[in-house]
Amino acid sequence: MSILKGKVAVVTGGARDIGRAISVGLAKEGAKVVVNYHSSEAGAKETVHEIKSFGGEAIAVQADVSNLEDIQHLKAKAIEAFGDKIDILVNNAGGLFARKTLQELDEPFYDLVMNVNFKATVFVMQAFEPLMGKGASIINLSSQAARDGGGGGSSLYASSKGAVTTFTRAMAKELGPKGIRVNAVCPGLIATKFHDDFTKDEIRAMVAEKTPLKREGKAEEVADLVAYLASDNSSFVNGANFDINGGLAFS
Q: What's at 28, amino acid-wise?
A: K
For residues 46 and 23, what is the distance between their CA atoms, to the nearest angstrom?
11
The helix (run of H) or strand (run of E) holding residue 194 is helix 193-198
238 membership: H or E segment, kind and range: none
Beta bridge partners of 137: 88, 181
Contact 19, 50 (CB under 8 A): no
The answer to whether residue 157 is catalytic is yes
| In the chain, beta strands by DSSP E | 8-11, 32-37, 58-62, 88-91, 137-141, 181-187, 241-244
CA distance 55 to 190: 28
Q: Choosing from 37, 110, 157, 228, which is the catalytic residue?
A: 157
Closest CA to 176 of 228, 132, 140, 224: 132
DSSP 103: G
Q: What is the dihedral of CA 250, 237, 26, 164, to 10 degrees?
A: -60
Other CB atoms within 10 Å distance of the CB of residue 98: 15
- Going by C-alpha positions, the residue among 220, 10, 227 that lies closest to residue 120 is 10
Looking at the annotation, which residues are catalytic?
A: 157
